[in-house]
Chain A
Amino acid sequence: MRLLTHNMLSSNIKGVANGFPLRIEVEKVVEKQVDFNADFLKNMFAKIEWKALVDASRSMGYSELPGDANPSMLDSDDFLQKFHHALLELHLEEGALVCPETGRKFPVNKGIPNMLLHEDEV
């Protein structure tokens, strides 16, 4: 699971009001190189919850992202490279996503988060 995906996931348990962002519990992180695409990053920037991305990348052991970001930074190649790496190249391979409100853990195995709910959670 890439951090772009993490940035799009929230806890879906019935009754949970603040299900975002899910806290990441790391067992194993892998890095996979992908082609750099500035247009894609510029496109995605407005859709990303920045703080959630910063915290998520920190919990995955990457702390190069600035705490705050604004669109003017998209002109900086250095910034784009870091954004690219955090958003697309870090994968949570094994671990869990934890609901910020209830503490319920959604397991991540082989890079695939399991968001299926138990009957009493729907």
Chain B
Amino acid sequence: MPSRTAQIRFVSSHPEVYEPCDDSFALVDALLADRTNLLEHRPTLCMEIGCGSGYIITSLALILGQEANGAYYMATDINPHAVKVTRETLDAHGVDAELITTDIASGLARRLAGLVDVIVVNPPYVPTPEEEVGRGGIASAWAGGENGRSVIDKILPIADILLSDKGWLYMVTLTANSPSDICRQMRQKGYASRIVLQRSTEEESLHIVKFWRDFDTQGAASDIYSVKKTGHANLVESLLSQCSQLSFWRHNNGNSS
């Protein structure tokens, strides 16, 4: 059976392009673990924002494989070297994706609005001085500004525009990014969320969060406490407790970073 993820020795590289790292592996592991759901989801359009070396979009195409009959893959990066490297990585694995050099999904968001079924993002999430964000080259691979949230906070509303009604977003976050706060923001836009994978490395504690539109939460989001004790309320409560669990992690890990 062919390998289900991209193989490091076939991943192309360039001095100014982010090499697959713990965060990349964590996201791919989360996608692998969710493979059965992804296949049932039957995505038509899949997209990666910030594809870097191409490790993740290539892996997604391999994970879904032939069984995801005719899914169409697209990937963007703001770094022109990255999309070229991604092309080589895709070719080396015999899979295909459409590549666009652009800022997040600029030029695509208007026509692709509501059409994307799966979005994957490993954003630049490292807390840095704001001036370091978007300087280009390798620095834009990790520089995330205050709390590492600058680029993340730009991506989220765009992901919301792009995602179809059944769309899923998988995103890498760091404890320092306050995943709980991200969950809360997304809940206001009507998304439920779940941490699908958590992994602590020597330097960081990574959370892969999956978001999906929850039409039950949407109404509840604006007025959580007035919701009657129904199934919906329980759902909201479990979400809330998830987020407080997150803030618990944050308080415990926040000092180390």
- Report the Cα distance A115→B80, complex, angstroms: 10
Given that A110-B87, A111-B99 are contacting pairs, would A37 and B69 also be in contact in the complex, using a CB cutoff of 8 Å?
yes
- Those of B100-149 within 8 Å (CB) of chain A: 100-103, 106-108, 110-112, 115
Residue from the list A20, A40, A47, A116 in contact with B101, Cβ < 8 A: A116
- Asked whether, in the complex, the Cβ of A114 is within 8 Å of the Cβ of B80, the reply is yes
Residues of B close to A1: CB separation below 8 A? 98, 100
CB-based contact B110/A116 at 8 Å: no
Please give me the residue from chain A that is nearest to B103 by CB atom.
Answer: A116
Q: Which residue of B is nearest A34, CB measured?
A: B96
The 6 closest A-B pairs by CB, nearest first: A37-B70, A40-B70, A115-B107, A115-B102, A12-B107, A114-B101
- Provide the residues of chain B in CB contact with A11, threshold 8 Å: 107
Find residues 57-85 in chain B having any chain A CB closer than 8 Å to their own CB.
69-70, 72, 74, 78, 80, 83-84
Say what secondary structure dominates the interface of chain B.
mixed
Known: A4-B72, A8-B112. A117 touches B106 (CB 8 A): yes
Contact A113 B101, CB 8 Å, known A4-B72, A10-B111 = yes
Count chain A CB atoms within 10 A of each CB in B44, B84, B101, B111 and give the residue with the most: B111
Instruction: Give chain B residues whose Cβ lies under 8 Å from the Cβ of A110.
Output: 84, 87
A5-B107 contact, Cβ under 8 Å, with A110-B84, A111-B87? no
Q: Which chain B positions have C-beta within 8 A of A7?
A: 111
Interface of A is mostly: loop
- Contact of A115 (CB < 8 Å), options: B100, B110, B115: B100
Scoring A8, A10, A112 by chain B CB atoms within 10 A of each residue's CB, the highest score goes to A8
Q: Least Cβ distance of B40 to chain A in Å?
A: 15
By the criterion CB–CB under 8 Å, are B111 and A8 in contact?
yes
Interface status of A77 (Cβ within 8 A of chain B): no
Please report the C-alpha to C-alpha distance between residue A9 and residue B100 in the assembled complex, in whole angstroms.
Answer: 10
How many A-B residue pairs have C-beta atoms within 8 angstroms? Tell me.
72
A43 at the interface (CB under 8 A from B): yes
What would 26 A/B residue contacts be, using CB atoms closer than 8 Å? Answer: A1-B98, A2-B98, A5-B74, A5-B98, A8-B112, A8-B115, A9-B108, A11-B107, A12-B102, A12-B107, A37-B70, A39-B69, A40-B69, A43-B44, A49-B111, A110-B84, A110-B87, A112-B84, A112-B87, A112-B99, A112-B101, A115-B100, A115-B102, A116-B78, A116-B102, A116-B103
Which residues of B line the A interface, CB within 8 A? 44, 69-70, 72, 74, 78, 80, 83-84, 87, 96, 98-103, 106-108, 110-112, 115
User: Would B98 and A47 count as touching, CB distance under 8 A?
Assistant: no
Q: Which of B44, B100, B102 is close to A44, meaning CB atoms less than 8 Å apart?
A: B44
A8-48: which have CB < 8 Å to B?
A: 8-12, 19-20, 34-35, 37, 39-40, 43-44, 47
In the assembled complex, the Cα of A7 lies from the Cα of B45 at a distance in Å of 14
Distance between A43 CB and nearest chain B CB, rounded to angstroms:
5
Q: Which of A27-83 contact B (CB under 8 A)?
A: 34-35, 37, 39-40, 43-44, 47, 49
The chain A residue with its CB closest to the CB of B66 is A35
Task: Please state if B106 and A12 are interface contacts (CB–CB under 8 Å).
Answer: yes
Closest B residue to A36 by beta carbon equals B70
CA distance A7 to B80 in the complex (A): 22
Given A110-B87, A111-B87, is A20 in contact with B111 using a C-beta cutoff of 8 Å?
A: yes
Task: Tell me if A8 and B108 are in contact (CB < 8 A).
Answer: yes
